[in-house]
Amino acid sequence: MIKLLFLTFVAVLVLAFVIPNKAASGEVNRPRLCWTRWFNRDRPSASGDWETLKSLREEYPGKICRRPRVIQAVTARKEIPAERTKQKFYVYNTKTGFVCRNKDQKRGRCLDYKVRFRCPCRRRD
């Protein structure tokens, strides 16, 4: 599962740097995607590190779109991609957010993570 998450992460990074020819691909109406800022509302506690969309939206109203297309998690200090930490994640998706539970770890404690999301870019008038 970690390998699959890592491959997905790599694919997203590659796609982020490729600018498609919208007219040739028929994607003229597809919105451009932009990254949100990084969010780190929780520190690893007795149960783990909980960066859920529900909690993030409560703490940062209006900062995350209704339907994020991509989620990215990295360690808070060194910005190591979550997939490279070899920790197990209870939740890591665009519907719920990110949860690392201490009880799922071999060494008993999650690292501190931060997350961001890819959403349709906001129009600037």
Which structural domain, as residue segments, surrounds residue 66?
2-15+35-120
User: In this structure, is residue 97 part of a structural domain?
Assistant: yes
Band of pLDDT at residue 43, cut at 50, 70 and 90: confident
Angle at 46 between CA 106 and CA 36, to 5 degrees: 90
Enter the tokens of residue 125. 């008038």
DSSP 98: E
The SS3 of residue 111 is coil
Predicted pLDDT at 9: 59
User: In this structure, is residue 28 part of a structural domain?
Assistant: no
User: In this structure, is residue 81 part of a structural domain?
Assistant: yes
> What's the whole-model pTM score?
0.73
User: In this structure, is residue 49 part of a structural domain?
Assistant: yes
User: In this structure, is residue 102 part of a structural domain?
Assistant: yes
> Could you give phi then psi for residue 25, rounded to 5 degrees?
-90, -5
- 47-89 residue pLDDT tens: 999 999 999 999 999 999 999 999 999 999 999 999 999 999 9
Predicted pLDDT at 23: 46
For 4, 25, 26, 28, 115, the CA distances from 21, given in Å and listed in that order, are 28, 6, 9, 9, 29
Number of structural domains (the chain) is 1
User: In this structure, is residue 104 part of a structural domain?
Assistant: yes
User: In this structure, is residue 30 part of a structural domain?
Assistant: no
Predicted pLDDT at 124: 57
- Looking up tokens 């600018």, which residue turns up? 19
Whether residue 42 is predicted with pLDDT greater than 90 in this model: the reply is no
User: In this structure, is residue 22 part of a structural domain?
Assistant: no
- Percent over 90 (pLDDT), the chain: 66
Are the C-beta atoms of residues 15 and 27 closer than 8 Å to each other?
A: no
